[in-house]
Amino acid sequence: MRRSDEDARLSEQIHADSIVTERVTPDRLYSRLRELRDAGFTMLLDLGGVDYPDRPDRFEVVYHLLKLPLAPAGVYEIARPERRRILVAVGGEKPTLSSIVDLWPAADWAEREVYDLFGVHFQGHPDLRRIQMPDDWEGHPLRRDYPLRGPARDAAPRPNFSLKGNVGANVPATPRTEVRTHE
């Protein structure tokens, strides 16, 4: 259990880099991203999820955008392209965000991955199914409350070596190797 002041710090989310960060609500997400794309942020670098179980809106999806020209361009034309970060928090029984696959085709697998590993749904995604885990997998492994070794292995009894029960009662103890000394 984390302490409450750590929760407060987490919810503030200090970024140690200089990327301009915006926080939007789920209903503004699609329109804001479309605005940014039309403003020249032509590449969706990445989108990924983070799980904060103690927050009211549990999941945070992080979008990173990059300003790049759409036509062939040299190093000096590109210079220092701008980056932008969008944070969106989403919670509830069935956390749902709008899909941005029609804005950037690159979002396809990344959204499937967030769905697969966190259970965040993306409305409007053409093919929202699991991508990393098998199709019949239950649960979302990257949630913080998902056990590291998986639910099945977590529930299985572990061998108890302290009882020495794996040595049969009638088996004589292994004789120690004789240590020969110089005569």
Partner 1 sequence: MSERTTTLPPPRQLDVIEQDDERMLVSMGPQHPSTHGVLQVLLEISGERITKLVPEIGYLHTGIEKSAENLFWNTATTVIERMDYLAPLSNSLCYFLAVERLLGITDRIPERAQQIRVLLAELTRIASHCVWLGTHGIDVGAISAFFYCFDLRERILDLSEAAGGARMHPNYFRVGGLASDLPVGFLDRLDALLKFFPQRMRELRDLLVENPIFRDRTLGVSRLAAKDAVAWGVTGAPLRASGVAYDVRKAFPYSGYEQYTFDVPTRTEGDAYARFLVRLEEMDQSYRICRQVRERLVAGPIAIDDPKLVAPAKQTIAVSMEALIHHFKLVSEGMRVPAGAVYQPVEGPRGELGYYIVSDGGNRPYRVRTRPASMYNLQVLKHLGVGELIADLVVAIGSLDPVFGEVDR
64 counts as binding partner 1 under rule CB under 8 A: yes
Q: What angle do CA 54, 120, 18 make, to 5 degrees?
A: 70
> Could you tell me the sign of the dihedral formed by the alpha carbons of 146, 44, 38, 12, in that order?
positive
24 counts as binding partner 1 under rule CB under 8 A: no
Q: How far is the CB of 73 from partner 1 (least distance, A)?
A: 6
8 A C-beta contact, residue 42 and residue 70: yes
Token pair 């000394």 is found at 181
8 A C-beta contact, residue 140 and residue 131: no
Residue nearer to partner 1 on the CB measure, 32 or 141: 141
| Closest C-alpha among 23, 24, 29, 41 to residue 98 | 29
Residue nearer to partner 1 on the CB measure, 24 or 45: 45
Question: Which one among 1, 4, 56, 79 touches partner 1, defined by CB under 8 A?
Answer: 79
Could you list the residues that contact partner 1 (CB under 8 A)?
Answer: 2, 6, 9-10, 13-17, 19, 42-46, 48-51, 62, 64, 68-75, 77-81, 83, 85, 104-106, 108-110, 117, 119, 127-136, 138-143, 145-148, 151
